[in-house]
Amino acid sequence: MLPTARLNKLGQSLWLDDITRDLLDSGTLATFIETWSVTGLTSNPTIFDHAITHSASYDREIIRLLDSGLRGEDLFFELAIQDLRRAADLFLPIHRRTASVDGWVSLEVSPLLAYDTKGTVAAAEALLAKAARPNLFIKIPGTREGLPAIEEAIFRGVPVNVTLLFSPDHYLAASEAYMRGLERRIDAGLSPDVRSVASLFISRWDRAAAEALPDHLRNGLGIAIGQRAYNVFRDQLDTDRWQRLESHGARAQRLLFASTGTKDPAISDVLYVNGLAAPNTVNTMPQATLKATADHGGAGRALVRDSAKSAASLGMFENAGIDIAALAQTLQADGAAAFVASWQELLQAIDAKSKVLS
C-alpha cells in the first residue's frame, strides 16, 4: 500500500495545494485522485499567478473574456472559477461518498479584503453563487477583521476555508467564529451543517525561527505548533458547547495543515507529512511533496493525542526565546502582505497579457 493510501486509511485527507489548466487538461489531477488518494484541492493568489504567468493555456480564454468586456479582477475570477469548477466536478464523487466531509476545492477572496469585514462577506457570497458548486470552500483569512466575516459567512451558509492561521490561539479564534456562526443558524431555525476547515501554516515557523534557535531545536517548531494545535482541536470537540452543536447536526471544522512543503534540502522532504499524520485532519501539499510522500513517506501511525506533552514540547521553544504569540502575529501579517503582493503581480500579469493578446 502506498504511503498516501495509508494516510487516507488513517483518516487524513490529502489535498493538492496547486491548480493549473494544464493539470486539468492533461488528466494529471484525475491521475492523482486515482493513484495517490488525493481527495481535495486548495489554491491561492500565488498559485494562480504562477499558473497564468508561466503558461499559454489561458491565452485563448483571456482573449475571449477581453472581447466580452472583462478586465482585471473580474477576468481573473472568471478564469479561476472555470478551473475550480472542473476540479470540483472531479472531486464530486468523493464529496458525495463522504457525505460532504471531503472532496472540496478552495477559492480565495481578494487578498485586498483581508482587513475589510463587510467586503469579504459580500465577495464570499458572490463567488460561491458564481461558481455554483456544492463542494467549493471560500477562503477567508483569520485576521482580526476576518473573524467576524467568517462568522457572518457561516451564518449565511457559505462553506469557509479559514486561511492564514499560524498558532493554536489563531485556530481557537477561528473555531470560535465558526461556532458562533453555527449557533446563530440554530437560533434562526437553520441547519448548522455548514462545512469549514481551519488552515494552519506550518513550514514558515521553521524558516522564521531558524537563526534564533539552537541546532537541536531547528526545524522542529513547525511540527510542535501543528501537534499543539491538533490537541487543541481535539479538546474543542470534547467541550459541552461543541457537543450541543453536534447534537443539532453540526459537523467538525477540520484542522488543515498547510504550507507543508520543505525548501531546505538538509531536511526530509516529507518532514511535515510524517510528523502531522492525524485522523479527521487535512494535509494540503504542493506537487513535489505529494510525489515525495507517495514515493517514500513513512507515516503509518496516528499523531498521539496528549495535551500535556504537546504543551511541554512547544514550551521548549518558548524557553529558547521564541515569543510564540508575537511571531504568530508577524507571520500572519507577513502572509497577508505576501498574498497582496502576489495578487498585484497576478493582476499585472493579466493586464500585460491582455495588452499583448488584444
Clarify whether 139 is annotated catalytic: yes
Q: Is there a contact between 282 and 256 (Cβ–Cβ < 8 Å)?
A: yes
* Rg value, the chain, Cα: 20
Q: What is the DSSP letter of 29?
A: H
Whole-angstrom distance, CA of residue 157 vs CA of residue 107: 16
- What DSSP assignment string belongs to 276-298? T--TTEEEEE-HHHHHHHHHH--
Residues in contact with 171: Cβ distance below 8 Å, sequence separation at least 6, in sequence order: 165, 198, 200, 229, 232, 233, 255
Q: How many residues does the chain have?
A: 358
187 grid coordinates? 437560533
Whole-angstrom distance, CA of residue 284 vs CA of residue 16: 5
Name the nearest CA neighbour of 169 among 336, 313, 326: 326
Q: Is there a contact between 251 and 304 (Cβ–Cβ < 8 Å)?
A: no
Q: Is there a contact between 300 and 204 (Cβ–Cβ < 8 Å)?
A: no
The catalytically annotated residue of 9, 139, 291, 355 is 139
Whole-angstrom distance, CA of residue 236 vs CA of residue 254: 11
**Residue type at position 274:** N
Name the nearest CA neighbour of 77 among 354, 347, 345: 347
Burial (CB count <10 Å: 0-12, 13-18, 19+), residue 301: exposed
Burial (CB count <10 Å: 0-12, 13-18, 19+), residue 72: exposed
108 grid coordinates? 480565495
Q: Is there a contact between 36 and 2 (Cβ–Cβ < 8 Å)?
A: yes
Name the nearest CA neighbour of 208 among 332, 339, 336: 332
Phi, psi for 39 (deg, rounded to 5): -125, 15
Positions marked catalytic:
139
